[in-house]
Amino acid sequence: MSERFLSEEDLDLSDLSWDELLAWWERWLRQAQGTNELDEHLYSHGVFRVEPGWVQTSEGVVRAEGQAQHEKPTSPE
């Protein structure tokens, strides 16, 4: 059993004209750029799923609790 999200026509890139291919590429790039702020701390490969110091929650990726305290400069007393 195979799941397909694109039709045979969608996958037939070799029959597109150069202008059509560039138009689809441009559309894909704009769509990908639209989520940059939402996934800037996520990794799609490697040893980490989320950037160190950040956690993934049901609301999205947020700074880990206690991390902000470590980043604040302390004044000498």
- What would the pLDDT profile of 3-50 be if each residue is shown by its tens digit? 556 677 777 778 888 998 899 889 888 888 887 777 778 877 677 788
Indicate whether 1 belongs to any domain.
no
Does a structural domain hold residue 60?
A: yes
* Whole-angstrom distance, CA of residue 47 vs CA of residue 72: 28
| 67, pLDDT greater than 60 | no
Identify the CA nearest to 62 among candidates 33, 38, 44, 45: 38
In a domain, 6, yes or no: no
- Enter the pTM of the model: 0.42
Give domain status of residue 40, yes or no.
yes
Counted domains in the chain: 1
Residue ranges making up the domain that contains 64: 14-71
Residue 2 resides in a domain: no
Residue 30 lies in a domain: yes
Instruction: Decide if 9 is inside a domain.
Output: no
Q: Does residue 75 have a pLDDT over 60?
A: no
Indicate the pLDDT class of residue 65, thresholds 50, 70 and 90.
Answer: confident
Residue 26, pLDDT score: 92
